[in-house]
Chain A
């Protein structure tokens, strides 16, 4: 059995069921798929894995959805005395069959646009899409948003309530509605990619399959005539330029390697090339999004032949622009790293001390890892130890703990 069967099948099964049941039954489809996985776990270890696991899951999820509909229909019939075979399969009868010529070319992408409904808050759109289409747990979504699991669970409940209260129709948006939804979809794909790039759960530091799924969907999106916007291309560029470096990010034992330790011959040159091409496509308008700036940073790293020739001054300039556009603590943290490379570790530390939102970062492993690194570089051994220890206590993956243990061992004392 392949290691990522459930996650891969989740999006496919939800899409298949929704295509049969109609979009208003998204929740039903999601529940049926979840239950099919639970059934698999209750059956396969005892009876063996079926010859064709995807087919087994599809059939089981379909049967579960059908049973649920039959129960609802019996209920409706008692209530109103109506119901026919078409209603049974098309949900409430208002089900909409996707038009194969609508240009999405992919069921998951189509459903992403359905989830990112402008009546929902941007956070709710993304949380719902990550949960429903990407199969993320509330804990994984919480990690993506730098918040708690409980907050995400609440956000999801509220989103579903709002869908019910406002009667938000889960329908495929027409061409005129697409631009308003593009932002939410791009943000979702961005978070999906990031979760793969630095996994917050599981036992692997990198979940490449998530990166590749996000990249695949983004490239598919840029092929759509209306969605081929500069910022879509910028996001595609960002993903290509970062994904190209994935093969070098961990060593053979799965331990993370710092940029300066990576074997650059492992970087995927063809992907970098493509990334640069997409960055060119992204520059065709006047628009400058965060994705543009982040792609610019990724391009600086990916095109540098070694660590010392990296254009840190330019990278810092990109981070300055990013900070003005989005004063988020995470961006400020990355900027501090770039600043330290240009002006020295003390300057980096001073910029972190000046951060107003430091409390948000206190539970964030990367913050303490960066402070530890900069403190060590500045010769502040005690501070370095303190922050590496704190980072260690926040680490969830064995590879992260090993990485931090090495940093602690390197501190001169």
Chain B
């Protein structure tokens, strides 16, 4: 059993970095207007706690003492993380419901909804073992 406990914060990971390529300025405009309205809605409901876009390229560090550093093409561009939104909502269902209303899903972007945990799993296991 997972000894981690969810908090009242949820991370929406926006997956897909190329879904908006090949659109005309008018289409881009429409998506921008819709996407922004969604963000605005989060702010108005008071659940918006932060958001950042991510640069597509980065490095992957691994191995003992971080000896291996590679250019991370981390995933297919369909799954690569484009950015995140941090939401303050009481339940996973609420977070999922807000994610479902995001207009970019229509264009092939995906949203992963992850509860923010009180502790990382190894720490939680140590704590559970100690008690």
Which residue numbers of A lie inside 8 Å of B, CB to CB? 1, 3-7, 9-10, 34, 37-38, 40-47, 49, 135-140, 201-203
Which one, A10, A42, A44, A138, contacts B25 given CB within 8 A?
A10
B60 — which chain A residues lie within 8 A by C-beta? Answer: none
Q: Is the CB of B20 within 8 A of A135?
A: no
Pair count A-B, CB < 8 A: 72
Q: Is the CB of A41 within 8 A of B25?
A: no
A4 — which chain B residues lie within 8 A by C-beta? Answer: 29
Q: Is the CB of A42 within 8 A of B83?
A: yes
> When A40-B32, A44-B32, A47-B53 are in contact, do A7 and B20 touch as well, CB less than 8 Å?
no
CB distance from B104 to the nearest CB of A (A): 9
Q: Check if B1 is an interface residue, CB within 8 A of chain A.
A: no
Q: Is the CB of B20 within 8 A of A6?
A: no
Q: Check if B23 is an interface residue, CB within 8 A of chain A.
A: yes
> When A38-B21, A44-B32 are in contact, do A6 and B83 touch as well, CB less than 8 Å?
no
B21 — which chain A residues lie within 8 A by C-beta? Answer: 38
Q: Check if B31 is an interface residue, CB within 8 A of chain A.
A: yes
Q: Check if B61 is an interface residue, CB within 8 A of chain A.
A: no
> When A38-B20, A38-B21 are in contact, do A47 and B26 touch as well, CB less than 8 Å?
no
| Secondary structure type dominating chain B contacts | helix
**A37 nearest CB neighbor, chain B only:** B28
- Stretch of B33-41, B89-97, B112-120 on the interface side: B33-41
CB distance from B110 to the nearest CB of A (A): 15
Q: Check if B5 is an interface residue, CB within 8 A of chain A.
A: no
Q: Check if B27 is an interface residue, CB within 8 A of chain A.
A: yes
Which one, A43, A46, A137, contacts B26 given CB within 8 A?
A137
B11 — which chain A residues lie within 8 A by C-beta? Answer: none
Q: Is the CB of B32 within 8 A of A6?
A: yes
Bound state CA distance, A134 and B90, in angstroms?
47
Q: Check if B70 is an interface residue, CB within 8 A of chain A.
A: no
CB distance from A278 to the nearest CB of B (A): 29
**A210 nearest CB neighbor, chain B only:** B26
CB distance from A14 to the nearest CB of B (A): 10
A45 — which chain B residues lie within 8 A by C-beta? Answer: 32, 35-36, 38-39, 51
CB distance from B98 to the nearest CB of A (A): 14
